[in-house]
Amino acid sequence: MKSRSIFLLFAAITVLSAITNALRAEDYPARPIKLVVGAPAGGTTDTVARFIAEPMAAALKQPVLVENRPGAGGNLATAAVAKSAADGYTLLVSFSSHTINATLYPTLPYDPVADFTPITMVARVPSLLVGRSGLPANDLKALIELAKAKPHTLTIGIGGIGSSLHLAGEKFKQMMGVDLLNVPYKGTAPALSDLLGGQIDLMFISLVTGAEQVRAGKLRAYGVTSVQRQPSFPEVPAIAEVVAGFESSAWFGVFAPAMLPGAITERLNAVIIAALAEPKLREQLKNEGATVVGNSAKEFATFVRDDIDRWAPLVRSSGATPN
């Protein structure tokens, strides 16, 4: 009898929880929604968050606010969202660091898989390999020849240890068989400043950040990290044209805390995907060098798990450690 009573109690709790979640989803949203970004205002992640905030607000009929919480490679924002209530009012807009940090950091204050409900991947953004204007190599093949002729001489700036841009450089060195000297910086801006000033030779930079300087002739673009050439830079080859199989890009996506009710997950996924189908937003992202994705929550969850495994060998072989 005691066992039966315990069973009935648990069954009642389960049913009550399901009813509560259903009611919560039916009323959602009843107040403003917050998009937390683990990067400063003005960066690519912040730009993506602000692009989707407006159409989300229009569809959900509630304000959608962007809150920047930079620091610790995005971990401060990520940990804050992981500890938030799973009610759909606090969401994380994150990027490739979400899966890279799983290997880069010996310990994290959250589990990048278990502590989150993936909503959708918003977009992918490739990067450019750029060099100072006076570098004596006019194209990618000449650059590789120069690097091989002068090992451990050419310098490559790193805007953030363990970032997708840093790991693009490590992948480039491994696949090209070149020895470049890493020069770490606390951010992309100081690295770019030194590259423009001629203090360093090369760096990988987001297509968003580096486009203006390349077009102005202040930097030379050697290659793009996407599989194919970019429409915004049709004259710049894909690095894969020189070394088959080379590809590297940053992704940007939306997460909620773990155990978000399924109905809220589905609604947020549908709202963001609908926003990404709007010509205005697609054009905005295209102008930033981004490729729109908008996959299902299940597909994004599978991608996140697999992406941790994809990055892990490269993170380990690079010897990268957190700043």
| Helix runs in 61-150, H state only | 75-82, 97-104, 140-149
Distance between CA atoms of residues 31 and 88, nearest Å = 10
Of 46, 133, 94, the closest CA to residue 251 belongs to: 94
Write down the pLDDT at residue 23.
44
Write down the pLDDT at residue 10.
54
Of 71, 46, 94, the closest CA to residue 250 belongs to: 94
CB 193 within 8 A of CB 166: no
Residue ranges covered by each domain of the chain: 2-125+250-318, 126-241
> Which DSSP string corresponds to 215-254?
HTTSEEEEEESSSS--TT-TTSPBGGGTSTT---EEEEEE
CB 242 within 8 A of CB 147: no
pTM to 2 decimal places = 0.83
Mean pLDDT per 10-residue segment, the chain (323 residues): 54 52 72 94 86 96 96 91 98 95 94 98 94 94 96 92 89 93 86 94 86 89 93 92 92 97 98 95 84 96 97 89 75
Distance between CA atoms of residues 211 and 214, nearest Å = 5
CA 258 remoteness from chain centre: 19
Residues contacting 17, CB < 8 A, separation 6+? none
Write down the pLDDT at residue 80.
97
Write down the pLDDT at residue 12.
52
Distance between CA atoms of residues 71 and 156, nearest Å = 23
Name the DSSP class of 275. Answer: H
Distance between CA atoms of residues 21 and 94, nearest Å = 26
Distance between CA atoms of residues 318 and 103, nearest Å = 12
Write down the pLDDT at residue 300.
98
Name the DSSP class of 150. Answer: S
- Provide CATH code, domain 2-125+250-318: 3.40.190.150
- Provide CATH code, domain 126-241: 3.40.190.10
Write down the pLDDT at residue 208.
72
Distance between CA atoms of residues 209 and 289, nearest Å = 10
Distance between CA atoms of residues 274 and 277, nearest Å = 5
